[in-house]
Amino acid sequence: MDTWIIILIAALAAVTVIAAAYIAVIKKRRSGAKKKAGELGESAVASVLKKCDSGNALVINDYMTVEEGQSRQIDHICICSNGVFVIETKNFAGTIYGGQDEYMWQQYVNGQKHEFYSPLKQNITHMYCVKKLLPSDVPVFQYVVFTNGDISHISAENVTDIFSLRQIIDGADGGKTLSSQEKEELYAALEAAAADISDEEHARQVKKAKELAENNMCPHCEVKLEKVKSRDGIYYECPKCGFVKHEK
């Protein structure tokens, strides 16, 4: 092979390696920036929750539990005299669109559209996980809190901005008042039931579940999802646990 061809192939290979490394660095930076934004939003919400229940709320942040073999990371659990509140925090910029029964919501920022799984449905799952750990007569509420962005186009209940959060929590009526001792007991029960899972392991499980769903496999049972046609379109359902994946 001629020398100049060998040089050309080597140069192309070097460019490919450099380009791949550059893309990896950019992705890592974006991922880090997104994580930092999320942490700032969660910190702001945690500060608000501490002031609820006349400053007597008991708050657990970044709670980890396991449901059906899959780890669940809950941003906040706030225990007040009027009930237990399961909070999902989103720190998204731009304009957010979403509906009560929609599985995919949209974020419009800088002229671009990004879709994400409904945080409302995500948090409903979290709420049921928490309910299983508590006595059946304890009122449990769930709210999704946006610390940034325009949420005026979201048509769903249990979604609020950070400025209204404290008023909503303090005004909730679950039909039962918890004493200070009961609140302490609930806090202790939740702490005792928390799963000892690292952030890295949780991220690994989330990635695996996403990959399974993308390949039409149930993220819980790891069996093939069955295609179902309905008047509202096509969706995929697990024959074992009932997990549903809607087509985008």
Predicted confidence (pLDDT) per residue in 28-38, tens digit: 454 454 445 55
Residue 84 is predicted with a pLDDT of 98
Q: Which residue has the higher pLDDT, 19 or 56?
A: 56
Mean pLDDT computed over 214-234: 79
Over residues 98-124, mean pLDDT:
91
The whole-number pLDDT of residue 236 equals: 82
| Domain segments of the chain as ranges | 6-196, 198-248
- What is the per-residue pLDDT across 41-97, written as a single tens digit (0 to 9) for each? 889 999 999 999 999 999 999 999 887 667 788 999 999 999 999 999 999 999 999
13 pLDDT band (50/70/90 cuts)? low
Instruction: Look up residue 187 and give its two tokens.
Output: 């806090």
79 close to 184: Cβ distance less than 8 angstroms: no
- Mean of pLDDT values over 117-146: 94
Report pLDDT for 119: 93
> What's the confidence (pLDDT) of residue 139?
97
Is residue 230 over pLDDT 50?
yes
Which residues are 226's β-sheet partners?
237
What fold is seen in the domain 198-248?
A: N-terminal domain of TfIIb (2.20.25)
Per-residue pLDDT, 25: 46
d(C-alpha 227, C-alpha 235), whole Å: 6
Query: Of all residues in the chain, what percent carry a pLDDT higher than 70?
Result: 80
Paired with 210 in beta bridges are none
Predicted confidence at residue 11, as pLDDT, reads 64
For 6-196, CATH number out of 3.40.1350, 3.30.479, 1.25.40, 1.10.1760 equals 3.40.1350
Which amino acid is located at 209 in the chain? A
Q: What are the Cα distances from residue 42, in Å, to 58, 62, 93, 104, 215?
A: 16, 9, 15, 22, 32
